A = this chain, B = another copy of it.
């Protein structure tokens, strides 16, 4: 069992710390909320009066904080972690922060001779309580191997995301996709309602197509991801269908800003000469728009 400093005892951090205690780890806990500290002391943790004090003698330092400026301050501020951190210890930031700030923090720690990795979590506070979080681990193989027994006290699935900084990156991508998809789904559902169509019927159909299953595991793997853009369904036709949907939506007064933006992306793909390519070639189109044309493909 390990000696662990745990800093940040909020809605997620408190149950995560509790699960570490249950597994028999020795915890030094710190938060600005004294009540949160007290509740963990009852469960066997040792209270600390500063990040530096919590870090004293710890093999692992875990931070679970609301934003990157706080992580920076906890690490590098007065009475911060670096004041008493052993060069043999491993710092694990589990907060959800800006990925480019994660990079800066890891680099700054590394300059001081300290080892740091990022392991943000997926799922909800209920899973934090149950110890069944999804662990998105950014770190070297050695870091991940070393941290795994500790991390698995808090979650039940660990995905190695690549080197340091990759944990927070995969969390960002996942959140981006699910949050924007929520807005797109709302447009489709409201158009459905405006058309007088049963949503249950729409769901039944969409559950069997990329509309419901997504493209990542259906249309893309055998086409654009293999470099094959011969048309199963042409960009020209997809563009035409989007135009019909937007026309209907505009007749029925259903605002569809994401749909409208999509149509212009397909429009641009056609302007680039991709009209008769497969619709999955839109990936290549967006890569080009991002200036990635010259790089190696994924």
Residues of A within 8 A of B (CB): 96, 98-100, 122, 124, 134, 136, 157, 159-162, 166, 169-199, 201-217, 219-220, 232-233, 238-239, 241-245, 247-268, 270-273, 279-280, 282-283, 285-287, 289-292, 295, 298
Once the chains bind, are B209 and A286 in contact (CB under 8 Å)? no
Once the chains bind, are A215 and B182 in contact (CB under 8 Å)? yes
Given A201-B161, A258-B262, is A176 in contact with B195 using a C-beta cutoff of 8 Å?
Answer: no
Once the chains bind, are A162 and B201 in contact (CB under 8 Å)? yes
* A213, chain B: closest CB distance, angstroms: 7
Once the chains bind, are A176 and B257 in contact (CB under 8 Å)? no
Least CB separation from A197: chain B residue: B169
Sample 14 A-B pairs with CB under 8 A, ordered by A number.
Answer: A157-B208, A170-B201, A172-B244, A173-B195, A174-B206, A176-B245, A183-B262, A183-B282, A186-B265, A186-B286, A189-B283, A193-B295, A243-B250, A273-B291
A202 touches which one: B170, B241, B289 (CB < 8 A)? B170
CA distance A285 to B255 in the complex (A): 11
Once the chains bind, are A214 and B181 in contact (CB under 8 Å)? yes
CA distance A171 to B209 in the complex (A): 11
CA distance A245 to B180 in the complex (A): 11
CA distance A56 to B156 in the complex (A): 62
Q: Is the interface of A mostly helix, strand, loop or mixed?
A: helix
CA distance A179 to B162 in the complex (A): 31
Once the chains bind, are B258 and A180 in contact (CB under 8 Å)? yes
CA distance A196 to B173 in the complex (A): 12
Given A241-B175, A255-B289, is A199 in contact with B298 using a C-beta cutoff of 8 Å?
Answer: yes
Most chain-B CB neighbours within 10 Å: which of A157, A203, A217, A257? A257
Once the chains bind, are B250 and A257 in contact (CB under 8 Å)? no
Once the chains bind, are B190 and A279 in contact (CB under 8 Å)? no
* A30, chain B: closest CB distance, angstroms: 24
Least CB separation from A207: chain B residue: B217
Given A262-B258, A291-B273, is A279 in contact with B206 using a C-beta cutoff of 8 Å?
Answer: no
CA distance A46 to B159 in the complex (A): 61
CA distance A203 to B218 in the complex (A): 12
Contacts of A191 in B (CB 8 A): 172-173, 176
Given A174-B202, A181-B211, A250-B239, is A264 in contact with B270 using a C-beta cutoff of 8 Å?
Answer: no
* A293, chain B: closest CB distance, angstroms: 10
Given A267-B255, A289-B255, is A173 in contact with B188 using a C-beta cutoff of 8 Å?
Answer: yes
A215 touches which one: B157, B161, B185 (CB < 8 A)? B185
Contacts of A207 in B (CB 8 A): 216-217
CA distance A185 to B268 in the complex (A): 16
Given A184-B181, A186-B285, A195-B169, is A290 in contact with B253 using a C-beta cutoff of 8 Å?
Answer: yes
